Amino acid sequence: MNIFSYFKGDRVIWMIVLLLSLLSLLAVYSSVVTLAYKHHSGDTEYYLFKHGKIIVLGFLLMWLTHRIKFTYFSRISQIALLISIPLLLYTLVKGANLNNADRWIAIPGTGLTFQTSDFAKIALIMYVARILTVKQMEMKEYKKVLIHVMLPIFAVCGLILPANFSTAALLFTTCMIILFIGRVPIMHILKTIGMAISGFSLLIALSAASPGLLPRVDTWKARIVEFFKGEEKKDPNKSFQANQSKIAIATGGVVGKGIGHSTQRNFLPHPYSDFIFAIIIEEYGSVIGGGGILLLYLILLFRGIRVASKSGKTFGTLLAFGLSFSLVFQAMINMAVAVNLFPVTGQPLPFLSMGGTSILFSSIAVGIVLSVSRATEKEEEAAEKETDEVKGGEFATA
Give the pLDDT of residue 96: 55
What is the average per-residue pLDDT within 360-368?
96
Query: φ, ψ for residue 277 (rounded to 5)?
Result: -65, -40
What is the average per-residue pLDDT within 384-393?
66
**165-181 and 186-209 are packed helices; what angle lies between their axes, rounded to 10 degrees?**
170
What string of DSSP letters covers 86-117? Answer: HHHHHHHHH-EEETTEEEEEEETTTTEEEEHH
Task: Please state which of the ranges 57-66, 156-165, 276-285, 377-386 shows the lowest mean pLDDT.
Answer: 377-386
Residues 6+ apart with CB under 8 A from 149: 128, 131, 132, 139, 179, 184
| DSSP secondary structure code for residue 161 in this structure | T
Sign of the Cα pseudo-torsion (159, 161, 167, 170, in order): positive
What number of CA atoms fall less than 13 Å from residue 4's CA on the CB side? 5
pLDDT at 395 over 60: no
H or E element in which residue 217 lies: helix 217-228
Distance CA 362, CA 102 (A): 21
Q: Are 259 and 252 in contact (CB under 8 A)?
A: no
Distance CA 121, CA 123 (A): 5
What is the average per-residue pLDDT within 301-325?
95
Task: Please state which of the ranges 1-10, 61-70, 123-132 shows the lowest mean pLDDT.
Answer: 1-10
pLDDT at 1 over 70: no
Give the pLDDT of residue 273: 86
pLDDT, tens only, 84-128: 999 998 888 776 555 555 566 766 555 567 788 999 999 999 999
Distance CA 159, CA 168 (A): 8
Give the pLDDT of residue 221: 73
What is the average per-residue pLDDT within 70-74?
94
| DSSP secondary structure code for residue 213 in this structure | S
pLDDT, tens only, 314-333: 999 999 999 999 999 999 99
Give the pLDDT of residue 2: 62
Q: Kindly indicate the confidence band of residue 41, based on its pLDDT and cuts at 50, 70 and 90.
A: confident
Beta bridge partners of 98: 101
Distance CA 180, CA 161 (A): 23
CA 34 to chain centre: 26
> Residue 95 is which amino acid?
G
pLDDT at 394 over 70: no
Distance CA 253, CA 176 (A): 38
Question: The whole model's pTM is what?
Answer: 0.90
Sign of the Cα pseudo-torsion (276, 281, 286, 292, in order): negative
Q: How high does pLDDT run on average in the chain?
A: 86
**β-strand 112-115 against 96-98: which pairing, if any?**
unpaired
C-alpha gyration radius of the chain: 23
Sheet (strand 112-115) strand order: 96-98, 101-107, 112-115
Give the pLDDT of residue 388: 62
What is the average per-residue pLDDT within 291-296?
95
Task: Please state which of the ranges 205-209, 267-271, 363-367, 380-384 shows the lowest mean pLDDT.
Answer: 380-384
